[in-house]
C-alpha cells in the first residue's frame, strides 16, 4: 500500500513509518519539524539525541535496505504543497499524527493555546479538503485522544452513544468534556472529520488513544543508536510512566499530581503501532466515520507510580513517591469505565505492562542518566493560572 | 452598565448597541469591519446602503443625544489591542456577535472554511484569555446557533442532557451534529467557552439562536434612513424569510431548497434584542456556563414560503413557490422538538410572526426593489461539491 505518515518525525510517527516500510509498503513521511522547535522553546530535549529526519531515513536504508520518502511541509500553512503531494503520491492510507501533542504546552499562554488549535484544527481541515480534491478514496487514520471524553459518570462508548430521551431514541456522538486546549483541539477535529465524511463521502477512523509508554519497537531494536524514537520525560511532552522511570533512575521522588486517583487508559508504543496496522488493514466504507478507543489497560496515576516503585526496588533503587499540588484542573477521584472492544474484535493482542518492561526501561534510563535535565521534570504550567 | 458589543457594525450588533445606549448604558462597539469585505467578495450588498460605523454613531448621537464608543479591531488578529481595550473599558457585559455568520460562506472553498473557523474560534479564544486577564468578572453573552445541535431524533434540550446509561447517570453536554463549517465553528466555540468557565471561573451564556428575520427595531424606527440595520436577501448572508420577501416583491418564485420540510426555530430581530437584554440583566454566577435556546416559533421552510405567499396575495402579488435542488446536505423531513423555556422563565414575551409583519416587510422591499440584484438570490454554493 501507499501509506503517508503525517508527523513521521515524532515519537509515534517514526516507528510507525519503519513498521510499514519493512513490511513492503511504500511509505512517505510528512513533517513540518515544528515539534523540534517546540521542544527547544520548552527546554525539553529527548533523553537521547534524535538524528534529523533525513539521517533517520538514511540509517533506515542502511539497516533495512528499504527507502522511505520525506516531504517537509507544514500542512496547516502550506495547503498548495499538501494538495500537490496527495495528488502525486496517491496514498491509500493517511496516518495523521501531525499535531501539537501536549496538553501542558497548550496551557502555557494565549499564544500557545491559539497555536495548538490553529495548528491542529487548520492542519486537519486542510487535509480533509486536500483528500476530497486529490484522493477521496484514501482512508484517514486520525490520532485522537481518550481525553476527548473527559471523565463522565457513565460508561464511555466508542465515539457514539445510543440515547433514549422522552421516549425517543437516537445514536449520537458521545458528549465530550475535554480538559485542555490541546484536548479541545482534538474534539474540534473529530467534529470536522465526521462532517467531511458525511458530506463528501470520505472514510476515516478516529483513534481515541490512551497514554502511550515505552521506548522500543521491533524496528528500533534493529539498531537502537541509529533508529531509536524520541523519549520525552519532561513535564510538557513526557507521559506519566516515562517520567516516573526517569525520576526513579535519578533517585528523586516520583511526582504524582494531587491524589493520583486520576484514572486513564494506557498502552505500549508497540500496541499503538499494532492498532494502527489493524485499522489500516480494515478500512471503513465510503462516508463512514468510525471511532476506536485505543488502549489496553487502565491504571490510576498512583498505581503507575507504585508499579515503578516496585520494579525499582527489584533493581535495588530506593524509590519514593511525592504527591504534589495538581497543576491541572481534573477530577482526582472519579468513575472511569471506557469501552474498548472494537480493536480487540479486529484482532488486537495487548501487551500488558509487565514489571520486566518497567525494569528494562529503568535500566536504559540509568545508563543515560547523565543526560537528564532534572529541572524539566517538574510542572511549571498551571491550568488555573496564566 | 458598561457593555461591549463585539460585531456592533452588523445586522444584530448595531440595533443591539442602540437598544442599550438609549437606556442609559455605556456602550462600546467593537468591530473589524470584515463583514463588509466578505459582502463585497460575495457580491452581496445589503438591500439598503449602510452608512459607515462612524457615520452610524454620529447619526445616533444626532437623533438620540447618546454617545456610543467605537474600537476598530480584529479580535482574531490583534490580541494586544483587545487586552488593552478590555482593561481600559472594564466591561460588565460583553455581547459577542463578532463572527463570520454564514453557513454558505463557510462552504465556498477550503480558504473560506479555514477563514471561518480561524476567525470565529481564534477570536473567541483571544477574548476568553483577554477576559481572564483583564475583566474576569464580566459576563460573556455569546451568540451561538440552534444549528449546533443538528436534527437529532430526540428532543433537544438547552445545552445539556441528563443521560442514563448502563444504570448510571450524568448530565452531559448535548451531543452536537452541526451541518457546515460555520456551524462547526460555533460548536468549537461552545466547547472552548465551557472549558474556560470551568478552569478560570469565567461566567458565560451561550445563546443558541434560531433564524432571525425582520428589518426594524424601536431604535431603527427613530430615523429609518439614518439608523437602519443591514438587510441581506442574498443566498449567502440572507436568511430564509428575508429572501422570500424579496423574491415575492420582485415577482420571481420563492426558492425552497428541496422538499422544504427542514424545520427550524425562528425569531424576530426585536426578540433577539429582548433575549440579549434579559440575559444581560440576569447574569450567571462565576464558573457558570449556561446555554439558552433562543427562538420563539418553529416553522418548516415550506410553511414560511406559504406564509409569504399568503401575505403577498393580500397585497395583490402573485407569489409562486419553486422547489429547487437542495444545495445543502441536510435532512428534508425530520423530527424537531427543541426545548426553549429558559428565556421564557426570565420573562421573554415573544412576538409571533404575523401576516401584518410580513406585509410590512413586503411593502418596504417593494419600495426598494429597484436596488435588488436578482442574481444573488440563487444558491451557488453546494455542500457536496468544491
Kindly report the backbone phi and psi dihedral angles of residue B254, in degrees, each rounded to the nearest multiple of 5, phi listed first: -70, 135
Measure the CA–CA gap between A31 and A7, rounded to whole angstroms: 5
* Geometric angle at alpha carbon B127, from B121 and B131, rounded to 5°: 150
Which DSSP string corresponds to A288-342? -EEEEEE-SEEEEHHHHHHHHHHHHHHTT----EEEE---S---SS----B---H
Bridge partners (DSSP) listed for residue B265: B298
Give me the percent of chain A exceeding a pLDDT of 70.
100
Number of Cβ within 10 Å of residue B224's Cβ equals 12
- The 3-class secondary structure across chain B, one letter per residue, is CEEEEECCCCCCHHHHHHHHHHCCCEEEEEECCHHHHHHHHCCCCCCCCCCCHHHHHHHHHHHHCCCCEEEECCCCCCHHHHHHHHHHHCCCEEEECCCCCCHHHHCCCHHHHHHHHHHHHHHHHHHHHHHHHHCCCCEEEEEEEHHHCCCCCCCECCCEEEEEECCEEEEEECCCCCCCHHHHHHHHHHHHHHHHHHHHCCEEEEEEECEEECCCCCCHHHCHHHHCCCCCCCCCCCCHHHHHHHHHHHCCCEEEECCCCCEEEEEEHHHHHHHHHHHHHCCCCCCCEEEEEECCEEEEHHHHHHHHHHHHHHCCCCCCEEEECCCCCCCCCCCCCECCCHHHHCCCCCCCCCHHHHHHHHHHHHHCHHHCCHHHHCCCCCCCCC
- Determine which of B148, B176, B287 to mutate to test the interface with A (most A C-beta atoms within 10 Å): B176
Kindly report the backbone phi and psi dihedral angles of residue B115, in degrees, each rounded to the nearest multiple of 5, phi listed first: -60, -40
> Which pLDDT score, from 0 to 100, does residue A386 have?
77
> Which pLDDT score, from 0 to 100, does residue B386 have?
77
Q: Which residues of B are catalytic?
A: 145, 182, 186
Among A186, A192, A218, smallest CA distance to A204 is for A192
> Which pLDDT score, from 0 to 100, does residue A75 have?
98
Number of Cβ within 10 Å of residue A369's Cβ equals 14
Measure the CA–CA gap between A269 and A14, rounded to whole angstroms: 11
Enclosing H/E stretch for A272: helix A269-281
Q: Is the dihedral of CA B265, B267, B272, B274 positive or negative?
A: negative
CB contact under 8 A, A386 and B132: yes
CB A89 within 8 A of CB A264: no
Measure the CA–CA gap between B98 and B82, rounded to whole angstroms: 13
More confident residue, A33 or B386: A33
Per-residue model confidence as pLDDT tens digits over A142-182: 999 999 999 999 999 999 999 999 999 999 999 999 999 99
CB contact under 8 A, A125 and B132: no
Three-state SS for A281? helix
What number of helices (H) and strands (E) belong to chain A? 14, 14
Bridge partners (DSSP) listed for residue A209: A145, A294
Measure the CA–CA gap between A113 and B121, rounded to whole angstroms: 11
Number of alpha carbons in the 13 Å side-chain half-sphere of residue A216 = 14
Measure the CA–CA gap between A231 and A50, rounded to whole angstroms: 9
Measure the CA–CA gap between B273 and B351, rounded to whole angstroms: 12
Looking at chain A, which residue has its C-alpha nearest residue B116? A122
Measure the CA–CA gap between B260 and A129, rounded to whole angstroms: 29
> Which pLDDT score, from 0 to 100, does residue B269 have?
97
CB contact under 8 A, B155 and A165: yes
Per-residue model confidence as pLDDT tens digits over A190-202: 999 999 999 999 9
Q: Which residues of A are catalytic?
A: 145, 182, 186
Of A161, A166, A180, the CB nearest to B165: A161
Kindly report the backbone phi and psi dihedral angles of residue A353, in degrees, each rounded to the nearest multiple of 5, phi listed first: -70, 110
Q: What are the chain B neighbours of A163 within 8 Å (beta carbons)?
A: 154, 161, 163, 165, 175
Residues in chain A: 386
Q: How far is the CA of B30 from the CAs of A30, B18, B138, B274, in angstroms?
A: 41, 14, 16, 21
Measure the CA–CA gap between A134 and A137, rounded to whole angstroms: 9
pLDDT at residue A312 tops 80: yes
CB B321 within 8 A of CB B244: no
Number of Cβ within 10 Å of residue A252's Cβ equals 16
Enclosing H/E stretch for A224: helix A224-227
- Determine which of B115, B153, B186 to mutate to test the interface with A (most A C-beta atoms within 10 Å): B153
CB A289 within 8 A of CB A204: yes
Q: How far is the CA of A161 from the CAs of A86, A174, B325, B343, in angstroms?
A: 34, 5, 33, 29
Per-residue model confidence as pLDDT tens digits over A2-17: 999 999 999 999 999 9
> Which pLDDT score, from 0 to 100, does residue B152 have?
98
Number of Cβ within 10 Å of residue B162's Cβ equals 10
pLDDT at residue A305 tops 90: yes
Per-residue model confidence as pLDDT tens digits over B255-305: 999 999 999 999 999 999 999 999 999 999 999 999 999 999 999 999 999
Looking at chain A, which residue has its C-alpha nearest residue B198? A329
Q: How far is the CA of A144 from the CAs of A96, A287, A351, in angstroms?
A: 9, 19, 21
Q: Across all residues in chain B, what is the average pLDDT?
A: 97
Bridge partners (DSSP) listed for residue A254: A321
Provide mean pLDDT across the span A335-352: 98
CA distance B114 to chain A (A): 6
**Inter-chain CB pairs, A–B, below 8 Å:** 141
Among B267, B341, B275, B348, smallest CA distance to B304 is for B267
Bridge partners (DSSP) listed for residue A163: A170
pTM: 0.98
CB B246 within 8 A of CB B239: no
DSSP classification of residue A118: I
Of B117, B152, B166, the CB nearest to A172: B152
| pLDDT mean by block of 10 residues, chain B; 386 residues | 98 98 98 97 94 98 98 98 98 98 98 98 98 98 98 98 98 98 98 98 98 97 97 95 96 97 98 98 97 98 98 97 97 98 98 96 96 95 92
Output b/e per residue, A166-183; b: 16+ Cβ within 10 A: eeeebebbbbbbbbbbbb
Task: Give the E-state strand segments of chain A in sequence order.
Answer: 2-6, 26-31, 69-72, 93-96, 139-145, 160-165, 168-173, 203-209, 211-213, 254-257, 263-268, 289-294, 297-300, 321-324
DSSP classification of residue A375: G
Q: What are the chain A neighbours of B166 within 8 Å (beta carbons)?
A: 154-155
Of B125, B154, B199, the CB nearest to A117: B125
CA distance B113 to chain A (A): 8
Amino acid at each position: 500500500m501507499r501509506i503517508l505518515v503525517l508527523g513521521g518525525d515524532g515519537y509515534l510517527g517514526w516507528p510507525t513509518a519503519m513498521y510499514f516500510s519493512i513490511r513492503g509498503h511504500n511509505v512517505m513521511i510528512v513533517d513540518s519539524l515544528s515539534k523540534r522547535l517546540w521542544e527547544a522553546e520548552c527546554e525539553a530535549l529527548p533523553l537521547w539525541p534524535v538524528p534529523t529526519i533525513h539521517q533517520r531515513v538514511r540509517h533506515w536504508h542502511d539497516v533495512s535496505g528499504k527507502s522511505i520518502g520525506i516531504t517537509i511541509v507544514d500542512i496547516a500553512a502550506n495547503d498548495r504543497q499538501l494538495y500537490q503531494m496527495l495528488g502525486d503520491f496517491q496514498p491509500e492510507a493517511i496516518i495523521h499524527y501531525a499535531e501539537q501533542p501536549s496538553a501542558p504546552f497548550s496551557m502555557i499562554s494565549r499564544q500557545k493555546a491559539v497555536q495548538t488549535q490553529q495548528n491542529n484544527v487548520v492542519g486537519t481541515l486542510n487535509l480533509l479538503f486536500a483528500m476530497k480534491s486529490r484522493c477521496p478514496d484514501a482512508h484517514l487514520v486520525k490520532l485522537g485522544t481518550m481525553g476527548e471524553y473527559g471523565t463522565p459518570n457513565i460508561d464511555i462508548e466508542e465515539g457514539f452513544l445510543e440515547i433514549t430521551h422522552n421516549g425517543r431514541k437516537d445514536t449520537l456522538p458521545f458528549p465530550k468534556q475535554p480538559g485542555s486546549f490541546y484536548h479541545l483541539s482534538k474534539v474540534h477535529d473529530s467534529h470536522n472529520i465526521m462532517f467531511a465524511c458525511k458530506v463528501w463521502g470520505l472514510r476515516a477512523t478516529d483513534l481515541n488513544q490512551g497514554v502511550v509508554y515505552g521506548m522500543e519497537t521491533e524496528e528500533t531494536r534493529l539498531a537502537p543508536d541509529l533508529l531509536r524514537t524520541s523519549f520525552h520525560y519532561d513535564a510538557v511532552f513526557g507521559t506519566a510512566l516515562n517520567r516516573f522511570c526517569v525520576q526513579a533512575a535519578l533517585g528523586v521522588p516520583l511526582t504524582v499530581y494531587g491524589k493520583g486517583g486520576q484514572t486513564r487508559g494506557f498502552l505500549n508504543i508497540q500496541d499503538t503501532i499494532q492498532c494502527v496496522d489493524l485499522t489500516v488493514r480494515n478500512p471503513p466504507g465510503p462516508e463512514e466515520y468510525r471511532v476506536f478507543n485505543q488502549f489496553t489497560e487502565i491504571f490510576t496515576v498512583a498505581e503507575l507510580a507504585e508499579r515503578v516503585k516496585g520494579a525499582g526496588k527489584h533493581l535495588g533503587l530506593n524509590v519514593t513517591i511525592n504527591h504534589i499540588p495538581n497543576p491541572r484542573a481534573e477530577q482526582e477521584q472519579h468513575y472511569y469505565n471506557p469501552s474498548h472492544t472494537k480493536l480487540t474484535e479486529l484482532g488486537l493482542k495487548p501487551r500488558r505492562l509487565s514489571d520486566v518492561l518497567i525494569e528494562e526501561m529503568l535500566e536504559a534510563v540509568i545508563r543515560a542518566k547523565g543526560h537528564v535535565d532534572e529541572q524539566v521534570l517538574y510542572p511549571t504550567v498551571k491550568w488555573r493560572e496564566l
